[in-house]
Amino acid sequence: MAANVGEARIIVCVNYFTDTTNSAGAFAAFALSNYIPVAAWELCNEPYNFTGTNDFFANGTDYANKMLPYRNAIKAADSNAVVAVFFKNPGMSGTIWDNALINYINKYCDAVTYHYYPQSAVNPEQVRGLEPQALGGGELIFDVLMDM
């Protein structure tokens, strides 16, 4: 199947809620050994939606701490894997989540990813200010959803 996708690459979302570090590492090893082209390993989908005292992540720092073992498992299986942490939707107010990731001491990500849900049509260049260099990463991965 992987041979039929041409130059296309997939983004794999590692699900903190159901995956384990072992399953993440095994999936990365499987993808590598079976030539499945992975653009990036996204550490959880929109984790900022699951924050608070009684939720999966207390805040952005807690998210980064909890996802580090997943990143390590992926990198152990494929040292060239691109691992992305998840920035907050720039269409929402507030910067607490993103600032926690920017200020995280161990900048282990290779990329940042986010989903942008604008209230009106937007030029993707308007959201380019979220550059991953602040996190030590080199790539920016995002999906822009726009109502037409």
What residue spans define the domains of the chain?
A: 2-144
Does the domain made of 2-144 have the CATH classification 3.20.20.80?
yes
Distance CA 135, CA 115 (A): 17
Question: Helical H runs in the chain?
Answer: 21-33, 60-77, 96-102
Question: Where residue 92 falls among pLDDT bands split at 50, 70, 90?
Answer: confident
Question: Where residue 54 falls among pLDDT bands split at 50, 70, 90?
Answer: confident
Distance CA 102, CA 117 (A): 22
Question: Where residue 74 falls among pLDDT bands split at 50, 70, 90?
Answer: very high
pLDDT of residue 140: 46
| Beta pairing partners, 86 | 113
Question: Where residue 4 falls among pLDDT bands split at 50, 70, 90?
Answer: low
Owner of token pair 């498992």? 73
Assessment of whether the complete model's pTM goes beyond 0.85: no
Strands (E), 15-146: 38-43, 83-86, 111-116, 139-144
Least confident of 4-8, 85-89, 138-142: 138-142
Distance CA 42, CA 19 (A): 13
SS3 assignment, position 137: coil
pLDDT of residue 87: 82
